[in-house]
Amino acid sequence: MICNFSVKNFKAFADEVKIDFFANKNIKRFDYNYLNLKEKDLLKTIGFYGPNNTGKTCILFALVSLRNLMINENHDSFHNVFADLGTVTSFKVEYYINDSFYVYKVDFDNATKEYLYESLSLKYYDGNSSKFEKIFERSVNKMTWNGITNSLKNANLIKVFSLTLPFMVLFNDVGNEVMMKAKNDYIDFANSISYLKMDGPVDITKTISLIQNDQKARNFIKEFVKNCDLHIDDFGFDEEVVSDADINDKLSKINSNSAFVKESLKFFSKHNGYRVPSIFFDSVGTLKLVALSGYIYEALKKGKTLIIDEIDSSLHHILTKSIVAMFNNMLNKEAQLVFTTHDALLLDLKNMFRKDQIYLVDIKNSYSSKITRLSEFTSRDSNGIRGDENIIEYYLKGQFGSIPTPDLFSSLEEVASNE
């Protein structure tokens, strides 16, 4: 699970921005919205709100980019090109995995593709204080790790570990138990992060794979879709494509689409007693729910952090709210949900969220965006809130940051003009 995260010089964010997943102890509401892990309270869900083009997607992408850096998966350059801060992006994340807290830091040069600095430490909490045990640290001129022998402490050692690869991917001393546990935990954490964009075609292959290989997942996905109240009599997956309607014409139109997954034809739904391929007869929103169901199951079952961009895309507000509520529920013991949304109705402090679960994204200046936690608004004089009131009206009036002020009438006048 993510405990806190910060990034500097990343796309829309020139200045350092921080996201804190530790629950604010001063907020005495919805104690089931966080998990107590070794006496530390970690929030199960965090949502990002704000106008278009301010950086909401960017902060999610920063989390995913760090994940890719940790295990050396493909990634593009991501430094801010407007603020003249150079090409080095700095990340820091504290995470909880396999009963331990860790802090990982990395400075990555987007020009040379080198890891200029990396460190990993175990973190131990004792009440309000904490201490650290260094696992490893390396820079261009220095390298050390837990259990290293004096004979290895020399300048030539640095050359063995390429700066173009993360240290933990390179390190493999099976005789060093501390290091190998830290490495396994490091990889487990990186692999615990899943990312999904809902504002375009959603990858359905995960759901298909789970249905074919996990009976419990198959049952969950079937019931999940049926329980969404989509006016479907039945829903499922059949290894044979069976339909009560003629689908030849529909099939010919999509056969040439390279993005089409033929296995998706095996999803069926029943409407008024007629069994048909879901992909042809159900709405875009329904198909997205089918794809999303696999990610939700895996997150809840395996304790993953599911990151969803535009969670409300093509979904009814009540469905979106119900999905978020699944993660906030007391039955969820280890999964996290991080999402962006434009759905103002989700700003529900009465029944759903604590103030520390909501972040507001806005433009700071010509080269950087900013992020503000809703709990930072503490008094009525400064647009603050108590924490249990209806804040949708305040949000739509711009009391927590800018909102769009379109002037589309002038565009209409331009179209209607005879000149």
Q: How many CB atoms lie within 10 A of CB 45?
A: 25
* CA gap 116, 267 in Å, rounded: 48
pLDDT digits (tens, 9 = 90+) for 277-298: 888 888 888 889 999 999 999 9
Tokens of 44: 């199960």
Query: Would you say residue 274 has pLDDT above 50?
Result: yes
The label of the residue with tokens 């804040």 reads 391
Query: Would you say residue 254 has pLDDT above 80?
Result: no
Indicate the class that CATH gives domain 2-192+326-396: alpha beta
Highest mean pLDDT among 96-105, 146-155, 195-204: 96-105
The more confidently predicted of residues 357 and 162 is 357
pLDDT digits (tens, 9 = 90+) for 113-130: 999 999 999 999 988 889
pLDDT digits (tens, 9 = 90+) for 122-152: 999 988 889 999 999 999 988 899 988 776 7
Is 118 in a helix, a strand, or coil?
strand
Query: Would you say residue 35 has pLDDT above 70?
Result: yes
Taking alpha carbons only, the member of 335, 401, 375, 303 closest to residue 49 is 401
Quick one: pLDDT at residue 281?
83
Average pLDDT over residues 63-79: 91
Q: Which of 35-39, 59-63, 246-250, 302-306 has the lowest mean pLDDT?
A: 246-250
Calculate the average pLDDT of the chain: 87
Phi-psi region of 55 (alpha: psi -120 to 50; beta: other; left: phi over 0): left
**Are 128 and 40 contacting, i.e. CB atoms less than 8 angstroms apart?**
no
Query: Would you say residue 402 has pLDDT above 80?
Result: no
Sheet holding 193-197, edge to edge: 193-197, 305-309, 336-340, 45-49, 358-365, 368-373
* CA gap 394, 400 in Å, rounded: 7
Question: What percent of the chain is predicted at pLDDT more than 70?
Answer: 91
Q: What are the extents of the domains in the chain?
A: 2-192+326-396, 202-302
Cα torsion 355, 345, 351, 381: sign: positive
Average pLDDT over residues 382-411: 70
**Are 352 and 325 contacting, i.e. CB atoms less than 8 angstroms apart?**
yes
Quick one: pLDDT at residue 381?
47
The label of the residue with tokens 């910060």 reads 6
pLDDT digits (tens, 9 = 90+) for 4-32: 999 999 999 999 999 999 999 888 889 99
